[in-house]
Chains A and B, each alone.
Chain A
């Protein structure tokens, strides 16, 4: 399945290593939260890119000791109706200031892309033949938002305020 990074198809250089599997000797590697907690000394010793795959019940705050050193957080949508990863992503971006890649896996449907982007996802694995075309369409279906989220704080409320101020200063 294609990986989209900022809306464009990208090479996936990451090894997503399940618990119990061996970690490859080199190259970017993502592990579970439990594995990171147990093996962080070894994993983070060199300067290889390291990521983590959170379960939906995991608390992003548990990543704080290592967050600056992480390059990828993978968040899962076990079902497209399960919105827990949206809260996890918002927390990572807004509260904890995570700057690396946040990637959506699982049931990622085109009609959710806009919500994911708003919550701070910049990558997704999506089962679409024309993944870029679908992204370009879905990401721009709406031009106005009431809520400030990770992607923009230029909300309808802010725009109204700006319009008022512009009018007042005329």
Chain B
């Protein structure tokens, strides 16, 4: 994991001090809310329905036990003992007093963390593959490049007042676990014809009101040009992105209004015009320094098969199910990645109590090489665990109530906070998610249904990413009543697709039974158990599923 040096440390400390001054001016009334708003937003402080919310960055989703414990301490000391892990590898606190925010930033700085640019119209926290450094199919670890982008984008003077927020994601696997095609800029590490590794630039994807799968602006950009090419894109956007209408201000609208060809021409022209003063060149020594922090840990030489693990699986159906659903293959023999679904029946997706966070920290330290990741499914992942230790990890998770065995399945729902916390919402999302989870309460039934991504958003802003769910649910308001539109066929992976709205919205209580009918239809139509919901859908088309959706008994 990256460690701050004196410079990184100075910067976050000075930021905490600056924000303390801004909060003091606000509390004294010297600063109007109108002028305070963009300042607090650049620091992750939102005014929500009931209180201020603080969003803390977890760059590219990586935590250590020490950091996780500090997050738990903040939950206890300044919030109500809970934290919420988000789809963008951030963590949110919903009940922090404004006057306490500066202290929280100091506490974060003590463990090399911050809330810089977690909101506002600037470059946001860089996200990545939660299995980086462990998965089977990546060509290089993307995290050093995420860290380089984090540093370059922190307080970038020119790109601090963009037309709208700006999200960058980086992935390096064939399987895209970072949803790079639905980001403002998605970077996919690839080899060019000569076998050199560089970046495919995907620009103008995104969800929200106007969802787009981003087009490729350049197939391959050399590593040494990464930051300069990013700057060229950012400058075109900062100068020409629309500022007249907040809903048309994202870069996806600029790219679609200019057309891909013209957008690309402008970026290439800007890139070609950069002189030596403007080019952002990182010394190779610096790239090497940052990369060294992400060197693979010293894995033990182990056989690919573990007797302890096999005995564990054979021990009970509960163990076997968890092992089948929550473990992911690791590139090193004898190791595995463990997925902890923060999706207990009846809880808000992504929520964890401070006790659970401390348990997660302990497990990470004892069994997982002190490497803890936050996944965009609002889950926690241990990338490196010995198969031999899996039984102990399971026991510890179970003791903390974190043993949901539904990773990647229907009840592993991504849902935004919705009406319970968010002042933009039209409808509740947590309770709808809970009711859908109840449809799959029988583990045998849920296993039979298999891989299914359900995403719930409480309004058109799409924080629950309903456009890329195999089944998406969108809360809408009709004359003061909550309704839910249902979408089919979205996906966020390398085959990114925007889901299609099926028709009129359903009432709250109609949603779960309707989803049940859709699933029954799938079970009837699928070729066999190996055909996933999303694959049956694309083979037979959406019509029979739509029929089932609206076929109220």
Verify if A148 is at the interface (C-beta below 8 Å from B).
yes
Complex alpha-carbon distance, A84 and B159, angstroms: 9
Determine if A157 and B282 form an interchain contact, defined as CB atoms under 8 angstroms apart: yes
| Residues on B with beta carbons closer than 8 Å to the beta carbon of A84 | 238-239, 243
- B512 to chain A minimum Cβ distance, whole angstroms, is 42
Docked CA distance A125–B192 (Å): 50
Which residues of chain A are within 8 angstroms of B158 by Cβ–Cβ distance? 83, 86-87, 90, 119, 147, 149
For residue A116, which residue of chain B has the nearest CB? B157
Contact with B along A141-157 (1 / 0, CB 8 A): 11111111100010011
Residues of B140-166 contacting chain A, CB below 8 A = 151-152, 154-162
User: Is B273 interfacial (CB-CB < 8 Å)?
Assistant: yes
Question: Is B480 located at the chain interface by the 8 A CB criterion?
Answer: no
Which partner residue on chain A sits nearest B5 by CB separation?
A160
Are B286 and A86 in touch, CB under 8 angstroms?
Answer: no
Contact call B14/A143, Cβ cutoff below 8 A: yes
Return 24 A-B CB contacts under 8 Å, by A number. Answer: A86-B160, A87-B235, A87-B239, A94-B277, A95-B274, A95-B275, A112-B161, A115-B161, A141-B17, A142-B14, A142-B18, A144-B7, A144-B10, A145-B155, A146-B11, A146-B152, A146-B155, A147-B157, A147-B280, A156-B11, A156-B151, A157-B283, A160-B7, A161-B285
B161 nearest CB neighbor, chain A only = A83
Which of B157, B159, B238 has the most chain A CB atoms closer than 10 A to its own CB?
B157
Let me know if A81 is at the binding interface, CB within 8 A.
Answer: yes
0/1 string, B387-431, CB within 8 A of A gives 1:
000000000000000000000000000000000000000000000
Asked whether, in the complex, the Cβ of B14 is within 8 Å of the Cβ of A141, the reply is yes
Interchain CB contact (< 8 A) of B278 among A83, A86, A94, A142: A94
A81-B161, A83-B162, A142-B11 known; 17 new pairs, CB 8 Å cut-off, are A84-B243, A87-B239, A94-B275, A109-B35, A111-B22, A112-B161, A141-B18, A142-B14, A144-B11, A146-B154, A146-B155, A147-B152, A148-B280, A153-B277, A157-B282, A157-B283, A161-B285
Flag whether B121 is at the interface (Cβ < 8 A): yes
Tell whether, in the assembled complex, residue A86 and residue B14 are in contact, meaning their CB atoms are under 8 Å apart.
no
Of A83, A160, A161, the most chain B CB neighbours within 10 A belong to: A83
Judge whether B38 is part of the interface by a CB distance below 8 angstroms: yes
Tell whether A159 is near chain B: CB-to-CB under 8 Å. yes
- A142-B155 contact given A80-B35, A87-B239, CB 8 Å threshold: yes
Tell whether A82 is near chain B: CB-to-CB under 8 Å: yes
A87 CB contacts on chain B under 8 angstroms: 158, 235, 238-239
Nearest CB on A from B345, distance (A): 43
Q: Chain B: interface residue count, which band?
A: 35 or more
CB distance from A14 to the nearest CB of B (A): 25
Who on chain B is nearest to A89 by CB?
B158
When the two chains form the complex, which single residue of A86, A146, A159 contacts B238, counting CB atoms closer than 8 Å?
A86
> Could you tell me the distance in whole angstroms from the C-beta of A16 to the nearest C-beta in chain B?
23
Central interface residue in A82, A88, A109, A147, by most chain B CB within 10 Å:
A147
Q: Is A118 an interface residue (CB 8 A)?
A: yes
CB-nearest residue of chain A to B18: A141
Bound CA–CA A119/B151 (angstroms): 18
A54 smallest CB distance to B (angstroms): 12
Q: Which residues of the other chain, B, contact A88 by a CB distance below 8 angstroms?
A: 239
Residues in B with CB closer than 8 Å to A111 are: 22, 39
Tell whether, in the assembled complex, residue B157 and residue A81 are in contact, meaning their CB atoms are under 8 Å apart: no
Interface residues on A, range: 20 to 34
Nearest CB in chain A: distance from B243 CB, A: 6
* Alpha-carbon distance between A159 and B282 when the two chains are bound, in angstroms: 12
Chain A residues contacting B239 (CB-CB under 8 Å) are 84, 87-88
Closest 6 CB pairs of A and B: A83-B161, A118-B157, A156-B7, A115-B157, A146-B151, A161-B283
Assess whether B161 is in contact with A86, with CB atoms less than 8 Å apart: yes
Query: Are A119 and B7 touching (Cβ within 8 A)?
Result: no
Contact indicator B11/A80 (Cβ below 8 Å): no
- Provide the bound-state CA to CA distance between A112 and B158, in Å: 11
Residue B289 at the A interface, CB < 8 A? Answer: yes
Q: Within the complex, what minimum Cβ distance (angstroms) separates A168 from chain B?
A: 9
Taking the nearest CB of chain A, how far is it from the CB of B140, in angstroms? Answer: 21
What residues of chain A lie closer than 8 Å to B22, measured between beta carbons?
A: 111
- B39-58, CB under 8 A of A: which get 1 and which 0? 10000000000000000000
Interface string of A101-132 (1 = CB under 8 A from B): 00000000101101100110000000000000
Q: Say yes or no: B156 contacts A82, CB within 8 Å.
A: no
Residue in A closest to B150 when the chains form the complex, CB atoms: A146
- Chain B residue contacts of A142, Cβ below 8 A: 11, 14-15, 18, 155
Q: CB-CB < 8 A to A161: which residues of B?
A: 283, 285-286
Cα(A100)–Cα(B477), bound, Å? 55
Decide if B273 touches A95 in the complex (CB within 8 Å): yes
Chain A stretch 32-79: residues in CB contact (< 8 A) with chain B = none
B151 proximity list for chain A (CB < 8 A): 146, 156-157
Contact of A159 among B7, B11, B38, B157 (CB under 8 A): B7
In the complex, the answer to whether B278 meets A81 with C-beta atoms within 8 Å is no
Contact between A143 and B10, CB atoms less than 8 A apart: yes
User: Contact: A149 with B283, CB < 8 Å?
Assistant: no
Of residues 482 through 532 on chain B, the ones whose CB sits less than 8 Å from some CB of chain A are none
A81–B35 Cα distance when bound, in Å, is: 10
Chain B residues, CB < 8 A from A94: 275, 277-278
Q: How far is the CA of A48 from the CA of B437 in the complex (A)?
A: 76
Residue of A nearest to B22 (CB): A111
What's the minimum C-beta distance from A59 to chain B, rounded to whole angstroms? 8
Interchain CB contact under 8 A, B160 and A83: yes
Contact of A164 among B159, B277, B285 (CB under 8 A): B285
Q: How far is the CA of A82 from the CA of B277 in the complex (A)?
A: 25
Least Cβ–Cβ distance between B222 and chain A, in angstroms: 18
- Chain B residue at minimum C-beta to C-beta distance from A59: B239
